[in-house]
Amino acid sequence: MPAEPGALALPELDVPAVTSRRALRLPRFPLAVIGLFVLAAVVAPLLGLPDPHAQSLRDRFKPPGWEAAGSWKHPLGTDRLGRDLLSRIVWGSRVSLAAGVVTVLVASAFGAAVGLTAGYYGGRVDAVLMRVTDATMSFPVILLALILAVTVGPSFTNVVTAIAVILWARYARVIRGQVLTLVQLDFVAQARIAGAGAWRIITRHLLPNTFGTLLVLVTLQIGYVIIVEASLSFLGAGIPPPTPAWGSMIAEGRDVVTRAWWVSLFPGLAILLVVLAFNLLGDWLRDTFDPKLRQL
């Protein structure tokens, strides 16, 4: 439409081009934080840090290195047993990241299989699988982990099992909803006409079209699993001592937070940074895979 006489002419913006450029801009902060913690977890034995289990009661509750009474031998200070906090945070990243990745991979694989099956077959299969999914989602993961800890003892395997047993239902519900839409499209009907079986349609046609949604869910849920694992370790139902775990490190410093604030603060900051980074990365992936969510 031509501009009215005297009106201020505004330059036309190529909205799709601007949106595309912004969507493809890599999230530097989340990638940097995740990369730093992953690298630290992988090369922890090569960093020359003190033994995370080594105790020195003479050095207990040493403040961080920049404090007057601190020492740069322990840059982030020590805990009640004189163990180096920096070393324990680095080694604790192995536990938290491993728990997050393993749990999410197990839960996403099983949940996606249930969601694909329920969405494709529909009918009674869908009804039965979704009722099981609803029942699973209603069960609190903390309670299940506490039951496992009481019956068989706290361990890494029990933490992963307790969270994965509940978490798969979230993937099943989301993937099933997307598959219900996909099976109505022409490419599925054409595959059936061509003689493709259910297994081929699910694995070659439906699964690739749900991969973007699955990847976003995986990224977002890693942060959630890290928080749950830390909560369980804080309650004593997670990773048993003396293995360094961020949640148990926070619990060890809760009684001395007024005079040894660093014992709980630095593990808490580690959880905050990692979870925030995964959430931001998940948001970026969501906006990238769904053009409707991209904003100027």
- What CATH number should be reported for the domain holding residue 173? 1.10.3720.10
Is 61 among the domain residues?
A: no
pLDDT digits (tens, 9 = 90+) for 125-157: 889 999 999 998 888 878 887 887 778 778 888
Instruction: Specify the number of domains making up the chain.
Output: 1
Is 282 among the domain residues?
A: yes
What average pLDDT does this structure show over 74-78? 87
Which of 105-109, 253-257, 271-275 has the lowest average pLDDT? 253-257
What integer best gives the mean pLDDT of the chain? 83
Which of 23-27, 38-42, 118-122, 220-224 has the lowest average pLDDT? 23-27
Cα–Cα distance between 215 and 99 in angstroms, integer?
17
Whether the Cβ atoms of residue 205 and residue 187 lie closer than 8 Å to each other: yes
Neighbours of 222 (CB within 10 A): 25
Is 93 among the domain residues?
A: yes
pLDDT number for residue 158 = 84
The yes-or-no verdict on residue 288 having pLDDT over 70 is yes
pLDDT digits (tens, 9 = 90+) for 92-117: 999 889 989 999 999 999 999 999 99
Compute, in degrees rounded to 10, the torsion defined by CA atoms 271, 277, 282, 288. Answer: 180
pLDDT greater at residue 275 or residue 152:
275
The yes-or-no verdict on residue 295 having pLDDT over 60 is no
The yes-or-no verdict on residue 61 having pLDDT over 90 is no
Is 4 among the domain residues?
A: no
Query: Looking at the DSSP assignment, which residues form a beta bridge with residue 78?
Result: 84
pLDDT number for residue 187 = 83
pLDDT number for residue 91 = 92
The yes-or-no verdict on residue 11 having pLDDT over 60 is no
Phi-psi group of 253: left, alpha or beta (phi > 0 → left; psi -120 to 50 → alpha; rest → beta): alpha
For residue 235, give its domain range.
Answer: 72-293
Is 66 among the domain residues?
A: no
Is 265 among the domain residues?
A: yes
pLDDT number for residue 25 = 73
Q: How many residues does the chain have?
A: 296
pLDDT number for residue 292 = 57
Is 123 among the domain residues?
A: yes
pLDDT number for residue 291 = 58
pLDDT number for residue 290 = 66
Is 42 among the domain residues?
A: no
pLDDT number for residue 161 = 87
What average pLDDT does this structure show over 263-281? 92
pLDDT digits (tens, 9 = 90+) for 167-222: 999 999 999 998 988 888 888 888 888 887 888 888 888 888 888 888 888 988 99
Phi-psi group of 25: left, alpha or beta (phi > 0 → left; psi -120 to 50 → alpha; rest → beta): beta
Cβ burial of 266 (10 Å; 0-12, 13-18, 19+) is buried
Secondary-structure percent of the chain, ordered helix, strand, coil, rounded to 5: 70, 0, 30
pLDDT number for residue 115 = 92
Whether the Cβ atoms of residue 144 and residue 165 lie closer than 8 Å to each other: yes
pLDDT number for residue 9 = 43
Cα–Cα distance between 35 and 159 in angstroms, integer?
24
